[in-house]
Structure formats: structure tokens, C-alpha cells
Structure 1
Amino acid sequence: MDDVILRPCGPPDIPAVQAIYARAVREGTASFELDPPDVPEMLRRHAGLIGAGHPYLVAEIGGRIAGYAYAGPYRARPAYRASVENSVYVDPAMQGRGVGRRLLAALIDEAERRGFRQMIAVIGDSDNAASIGLHAALGFGHAGVLRAVGWKHGRWLDTVLMQRALGPGDTIPPGSP
């Protein structure tokens, strides 16, 4: 897929990002949100992540946003500061073309460059074989399953946890060269 351009996500990209996410919220199980956030809310979230030094990327094909990925705080408490949770969403019309793989690989590289040490995937729905397979292919290991923790689309959903070390991982303290 040489026609894919990966680049930082900027505010002008957010309406396209919001459209991709809104469909995922309405139709899918990857996100446990029930109502899609609007563009102003997505702009607020984007600004918060960028302002905190987290990477946020888009994939563009032919001038159209094909998908996006970002890494945000895994948990809010300071001891988690070197760990991030990733999110990857691809426009359904662009799925199966390697967009998600390219986004996640670039996100891993960028998170490592910024000094993060662990990346956590919190995958909605244990039946989400595509996301589980994508993460496994890029070095994430299975860390656990939280059974029936979400109720969406009239059924209970699991959360699959996967984890990948970034850079030196846990071999040295955070902030060490």
C-alpha cells in the first residue's frame, strides 16, 4: 500500500476522524461508548492528548482519511506515566488493505520515540479477531480477559487485554537514557 500517507493528526482532520469513530460506536463493539461524541468533543479529546505529549496519527489515501490511531494515558495515576493505551480505527471501506497495521506500527514507533515504555491494547469484544490478530502480529502478548464487563447491542461483551514493551520496556526506570 504505497499510496498510504501516515502523518500527525491535526484539528482539520477531526471531522473525518469523528465520522469513522461515530460509525464504530454505533455499529461496532470495539468501543464501549454508546453515543458517538460530536466534533467539538473529539476536538477537545485530540487537544488533550496532543497537549499531554501523546502521539495521534492519521492514514490518508487519495486525500481521504482512511483511519487514525493514537496513544493516550493507560491510567491517570502518576505511576502509570510510562504506559499508554492505544486506539486504532479504520474506515470500513478501507479495511483489509493494511491501513490498521501501518497505523499501529507507526504509533508504536512514535510512542517509543517519546519515551513511553509499555503499550496496552484494551480490545472491546473477545470476538474481535481482526484487532486481536493485528496486535499479536505487532508483538503484543495476551495479558488477560475481563469477562462480560460491557453491555452493548443487547449482549455482554468481554475486554481483551494485550501488552507490548516499548523501547527498553521495564529494563530501566522511566526517564533513563
Structure 2
Amino acid sequence: MLEEEYQPRRTLPRKLRPAPTEKPPLEVPFEFSIRDAVETDLPYVREIYNHYVANTVVTFDEDAMTLKEWRQKFTWTRKFDYPFLVAESPAGTILGFAYVSAWKQKAAYRRTVENSIYLGPAATGKGLGKALLKELIDRSKQAGIKEMLAVIADQGADASIRLHEGFGFKEVGRLGRVGFKFGHWLGTVLLQKSLK
């Protein structure tokens, strides 16, 4: 045996020992791509949306939307060449969606739309809403849309208002006590952006 094997192991007192080097936890990047929605995405779109119906006041819907209703909405947006987008993870999971719909059904309103953006709960706060809104605005311009509106609940949707204001939407009106959900009266904030 070697001589050094017989010597007692010497250690520094605890307070003089160097701190163990801790590796920071690996941060998995939040990756996604944005593409046109297809009909097979609609069950996932419905699932994301119905989460907001059941748990929030950001939509005034009180009943979960059916797949049939989403198919009708999707067909309607396609009829007018309005953008309907989904964001998906590299694994193919739908993380969120965004689309525009006619502001009013009368023909004179055909170049004015209302936008809608919904993210899966695990995808919030990561920049996805911003990316979807940017793409939605770009695609709407390409489709010849001139005005985009956002109708946002006046409670529980501060992040959505800030998001839209960051893209140049301006508040153009408020309606008070026009919705009643979860035992509370709710109003709406109307924001508008010209896409010229």
C-alpha cells in the first residue's frame, strides 16, 4: 500500500470549504411555429377555448363550444379568406390560436374585423401571444383588411389590453355592465388599429 493511503484525510473547516458548484437547472427553450389552422386542429382549439369559458371572464361565453360550432366558425373565416392561425410545439402540440372574424355581418363592414387570441394555460407569459398577434396583423393586411378591433373584458384581461396597446391599438370606447358571468357584471374595452 502507498504511504498516502495511511494518512488521515484532512478537510477544511466547513466555513472555509468552497461552495459546491451548482449547475443551474437546464432551461428548455420555449419553441413554436405559427401556421394556418387546418380542420384537424379544431379539437385542440376547442379544448383551449373551453378552458377559458369554464374558468375565466375573458370570454363571455358561458357554455362550452362544440366541435360542430368550431367547424362552422372555421368554415366562415375560410369563406372570407380571413386568417385563422395556430401555434404548435416542435412535437406538434397546439399551444394557442388566433383568428379574425367579421366585425358585423353587413357588407359595408367587410374590411373591419375583430381579433381573438387564446393560449393554452402552459403557454402563457412566454411571448406566444405577441407572436400570434404580430402574425395575425401581417396576414390581415395581406388579406386586404383595413381595421382591426379587439373587444376585451374590462376585468381579468389586463395582459390582453397591454398586448394590444403594444401593437398600437388605441382605446376607442367602453361599454359597462353588458355581460353577466360567474355572478358578476362585466364591461368591455374596445380597442382599434388601422392596418393601412
* SS of residue in 1 equivalent to 2:75: helix
Q: Distance in 1 between matches of 2:138 and 2:40?
A: 24
Asked if residue 87 in structure 1 is aligned to residue 145 in structure 2, the reply is no
In the alignment, what sits opposite 1:71? 100
- Greater Rg, structure 1 or structure 2? 2
Deviations 1:41-80 (A, max 9, x none): 1112111111221110001113111100001101111111
| Residues 28/2 of structure 1: CA separation in 2 closer, same or farther (3 Å cut) | closer
In the alignment, what sits opposite 1:25? 53
Q: Which is bigger in relative contact order (C-alpha 8 A, separation at least 6)?
A: 1
Shift of 1:124: 2.0
1:159 to 160, 176, 188: 188
Q: Which runs of 5+ in 2 are unaligned?
A: 1-28
In the alignment, what sits opposite 1:107? 136
Q: Distance in 1 between matches of 2:87 and 2:148?
A: 20
In proportion to residue count, which structure has more strand? 1
| Residues 65/76 of structure 1: CA separation in 2 closer, same or farther (3 Å cut) | same
Q: Which amino acid aligns with 2:130?
A: R
* SS of residue in 2 equivalent to 1:54: coil
What TM-score does the superposition give when structure 1 sets the normalisation length? 0.91
In the alignment, what sits opposite 1:131? 160
Shift of 1:2: 6.9
Q: CA RMSD in A?
A: 1.2
Q: Which runs of 5+ in 1 are unaligned?
A: 169-177
Asked if residue 57 in structure 1 is aligned to residue 78 in structure 2, the reply is no
